[in-house]
Amino acid sequence: MKISIIGAGYVGLISGACFAKLGHDVVLIDIDADKLATIAKKEDLPIHEEGLQELLEEVHIDTSTDYGKTVDSDVIFVCVGTTADENGNIFSEHLINAANDIAGVLKKQQKYCVVAVKSTVGPGMTESLVIPLLEKSGRKAGKDFGICMSPEFLQEGRGIYHFMNPSRIIIGEYDGRSGDVLERLHQSLKAPVMRASLRTAEMIKLASNAFLATKISFINEIGNICKKLGIDTYEVARGMGLDERIGNKFLNAGIGFGGSCLPKDLRILISGARETGYQPELLREVSNLNENQALKPVELLKKHIKLQGATVGILGLAFKPGTDDIRDSRAIKVAEALLAEGAMVKVYDPLAVANFIKTCPQVLPASKEEVLDSDAVIILTEWEEFMELDYRGKIVIDGRRIEKAREARIYEGVCW
């Protein structure tokens, strides 16, 4: 099939590379010509993902800033960024621009084409926002073109693996013909396919991430209690996880969740619920707990040193290992809190320093050794290389349970 992907970010670039590997003709459209140039050259890629460089060298993908290149696609995936403010109000300007430009394409389209929204949207937005914009083309959804909502469950760091081995394919469809095209496109992936309405698919995405977020905030709350009682949270989680109804995933207590999805999807869901007049108390607490949890390392450190004038080293800036993504990373909150207390902050991360200093320019990039030489060290991402450092003689606050760090002179885990 001819597949066009609008937005060459984490989702778009990984999806494009994987669809090309599956044998489709892929064109990647973005408004950022510099980003596309690095992708076309296969050098200095805009994102870091395991296996992406190798995959791009193996496949062929066209890149362009010109939406005209998408004419006569079988499927156009919309993968532009959507963000949400603290109240869950979605910033949908990119989505609106993309839908307007796709409407221009639909006018010229000779064959049936399905527009599939992969960008995260609030409940009902594919119908209330995207379809009316596409229909400005004079073409009718469900008749002249198809429309689907194809929620993305990509797990950054191992995005390519998860794209090729998905847990499920959720196809939100406006009509059966649209869903048939998307189901055919994914059939070689051998994953359970569930077809649903557009709104249901949107909600499956939001609810899935809200559930994972809830599990993390839950175990963090248990962890906070266990720490006060002198009980090892990780032992408790191990015992809980042996119950297959609970499972052992997402039970690592620590400083909470970040990234471009969990915090945002939770906020979008909370705001969507409130618009209906329902107050989602549980989800609100999950979010509040997460925000407070991020500041635990700073609270704990204050017990051991005076932050004013101290040098504090941060090990780990990415929101999780395996990625250079720092969106909503807990490290941002921790660094800002340390700076506000008058500390100097040195940072190290194997991939994410360049992204981090764009957001938080007051910190000082440093080597691992320089970070370890600080007055105290805070560990915020569970990179494997942190499991081999020499922490002897140091003061360490551990947000991610790095066992080796226990050899420090003073060691505190956030929930243990």
User: Which of 182/315 has CB closer to ligand NAD?
Assistant: 182
Q: In the structure encoding, which two tokens stand for residue 103, read together? A: 């409407």
Q: Is 267 in the site for ligand NAD (CB under 6 A)?
A: no
Distances (CA, A) of 347 to 206, 315, 408: 33, 6, 19
18 carries an active-site annotation:
no
The strand pairing partners of 348, in sequence order, are 315
Binding mask 326-365 for ligand NAD (x = CB under 6 A): ----------------------------------------
In the complex with ligand NAD, the residue whose CB is nearer, 152 or 173, is: 152
Return the CA Rg of the chain: 23
| Interaxial angle between packed helices 198-229 and 262-275, expressed in degrees from 0 to 180 and rounded to the nearest 10 | 120
185 membership: H or E segment, kind and range = helix 176-186
In the complex, the smallest distance separating the C-beta of residue 101 from ligand NAD, rounded to whole angstroms, is 6
Range 25-44, binding ligand NAD (CB under 6 A): 29-32, 35
Q: How far is the CB of 105 from ligand NAD (least distance, A)?
A: 12
**Restricting to residues 119-158, which ones interact with ligand NAD according to CB under 6 A?**
119-120, 152, 154, 156
Q: Which of residues 298-317 bind ligand NAD (CB under 6 A)?
A: none
Work out how close the CB of 237 gets to ligand NAD at its nearest, in angstroms, rounded to a whole number.
25
11 part of the interface to ligand NAD, by CB under 6 A: yes
Which is catalytic among the residues 79, 261, 360, 415?
261
Q: Which of 5, 6, 52, 395 binds ligand NAD (CB under 6 A)?
A: 6
Contacting ligand NAD (CB under 6 A), which of 3, 4, 5, 9? 9
* Beta carbons of 388 and 406 less than 8 angstroms apart: no
The DSSP secondary structure of 45-74, one letter per residue, reads: -SS--TTHHHHHHHS--EEES-GGGGTT-S
The residue count for the chain = 416
Element (H, E) at 275: helix 262-275
Residue with nearest beta carbon to ligand NAD: 9
Tokens at 254, concatenated:
């620590």
Contact 9, 36 (CB under 8 A): no
Closest CB 177 distance from ligand NAD, rounded Å:
25
- Say how far residue 405 (Cα) sits from the centre of its chain: 27
Active site residues: 261
- Applying CB under 6 A, the residues found at the interface with ligand NAD are 6-12, 29-32, 35, 79-82, 94, 97-98, 118-120, 152, 154, 156, 260-261
